[in-house]
Structure 1
Amino acid sequence: MPESITVNGIAVDAADWPSPQLAAVHELLRQRAQALQLLAEGADAQATTEAIEQLLAREVGVPEPTPAECRRWYDAHLPRYRNGELVHARHILFQVTPGTPVPAVRAQAERTLKELMAQPELFEQRARSQSNCPSGAQGGQLGQLQRGATVPEFEQALFNGVQLGVLPGLVNTRYGFHIVAVDQRVPGEQLPFEAVRERVAAELRNAAERRALGQYVRVLAGQAELDGVALDAAASPLVQ
């Protein structure tokens, strides 16, 4: 995997990002914000983030879901809308921060996952010695978790399945790479549509936003000169 890429002649160090695609997307959006005079040359990271948010609010339209769409989504995803659904879980975090050599961190996480799939009894020991999360001091224990208590990528890994034990793949979030073990699942009770109507609408709105952002980035990428990276629908999430 290349550690640097070029976007419209501007070199980008992909080593500071979880993937080259994310690095390229961020640079595309930064350049677009500058072209629209939303961002000054040489602006710092905070100003860049704010300008990109302003850019997306201006140029990416997100349709409001209809009541019928909300109802269809609810009926097709009933397990998402349960009261009292809990997961007892542990994790080991291999943190990714600006300047972190991402390929090396991923490789270490993959080695540890392979070891724990073969010897799950070592999970607590590895969490204490390797995890970058404060929970490492408790062997990676996260306790009881409900939907909405963690970032979406982590929640999906916890709740969209029935498996117990060490999950077979790394979970990639904005914080880094996680090894996750699910110790217990409590199914809870089904909530009626009326009780979760607003939540369903918000989830559909977020999904529509992700699709619109992906399309917007593909348009920008089609107009750009890219070297060392290819952008497609997999280039989400868009903003770190």
Structure 2
Amino acid sequence: MKQTFTDISVNGEAISPELIATEAQNHPAPKGKPGMAWMAAARALAVRTLILQEARRRGLAASPIELAPGLWETEEDAIIRQLLDEAVEVETPTPEAVRAAYDANPERHRAPSLYEAAHILFAARPDDVVARKVAKDQATTVLGKVKAEPKAFDALAKDHSACSSRANGGRLGQISAGDTVAEFEAALATLNQGELAPEPVESRYGFHIIRLDAKAKGEILPFEAVETALRSALEKAAWVRASRAFVDALAEQAEVTGITLKAA
């Protein structure tokens, strides 16, 4: 049965289903639930309409800025930015507030851990189901050989790995956060020095047999090293809260039909 949606308008200004359908492509949703993307898109467009209406009420004229060489804001984006700059007031966090945020959770300011690791990669494209199955089976078989004879890792890497590191027995050298894909990093974080991942680790590249050779946990950075970045983060968080409060206030005074803006 085809899903239908109520017509949506903000203060009498209609938002077309075609525009919502186009915007929905920018809002991921669980498989089989396209309605969630549609509703998220409708809310986003309703909020945008509400802000543009307020900008027009205030008589703002667009003054686009150059975002990058040859890349300029659209007039609507410029007006939205100008309105928020004018209407949203954010207090700069005090030195005491910045220090308190650091002291509340110093662990958040730990330097990245460093790893020395080796791997054997069985490559397969993410969209090739058959190749993924073959790669996993091959990785499982070779992992069994490594577990039975750990000293054979280098030779097996040279014989089987699809990574250029095979020439060095699969050794990747020293790596840290961001140097590998998330699945690989997550596996490293669970291993002790000298330990093998118990099962092949899947990533976008295929399946990896992973060995952790050394690990140095990052130290907690001193307050002085993170003060500027932490202050900036607090300012951004405060701006987000203030801008949401501004939009909520507009929504309370608006006549919105077909959707609620509570989740916007």
**TM-score, length of structure 1 as denominator length:** 0.54
CA distance in 1 between partners of 2:224 and 2:86 (Å): 32
Conserved? CA contact 2:11–2:256, under 8 Å: yes
Contact 1:71 1:193 in 2 (8 A): yes
**What percentage of residue pairs aligned between the two structures are identical?**
34
Please tell me the root mean square deviation across aligned C-alpha atoms, in Å: 4.1
Q: 2 CA distance for matches of 1:38 and 1:60?
A: 15
Counterpart-to-counterpart distance in 2, 1:163 and 1:217: 43
Deviation of the 1:86 alpha carbon: 7.5
* Partner of residue 197, structure 1: 227
| Residue from 90, 94, 97 that aligns with 1:62 | 90
Structure-1 separation of matches of 2:218 and 2:253: 49
Q: In structure 1, which of residues 75, 84, 93 is the aligned counterpart of residue 103 of structure 2? A: 75
Deviation at 1:231, TM superposition (A): 1.6
**Letter in structure 1 aligned against 2:50:** L
Cα deviations by residue, 1:105-137 (Å, 9 ceiling, x for unpaired): xxxxxxxxxxxxxxxxxx9533679xxxxxxxx
AA aligned to 1:9 is G
**Contact in 2 for aligned 1:29/1:52 (Cα 8 Å):** yes
Does the alignment pair 1:7 with 2:19?
no
Alignment of 1:185-224 (within 5 A): 187-224=217-254
Q: Which runs of 5+ in 1 are unaligned?
A: 88-122, 130-142, 147-153, 167-182, 236-240
Q: Which amino acid aligns with 2:247?
A: V
Deviation at 1:85, TM superposition (A): 4.6
Q: Secondary structure at the match of 1:205?
A: helix
Measured after TM superposition, the shift of residue 201 of structure 1 is 0.7
What residue identity is the alignment partner of 1:200?
A: L
Corresponding residue pairs, total: 159
Q: Secondary structure at the match of 2:9?
A: strand
The structure that has the greater radius of gyration is: 2
Compute the displacement of 1:23 (Å): 1.5
Cα distance, 1:9 vs structure 2? 1.4
Separation of aligned partners in 2, 1:38 and 1:56: 11
Residues in 2 aligned to 1:4 and 1:78: alpha-carbon distance in whole angstroms? 49
Query: Is the aligned partner of 1:51 residue 2:79?
Result: yes
Check conservation: 2:9, 2:256, Cα contact below 8 A: yes
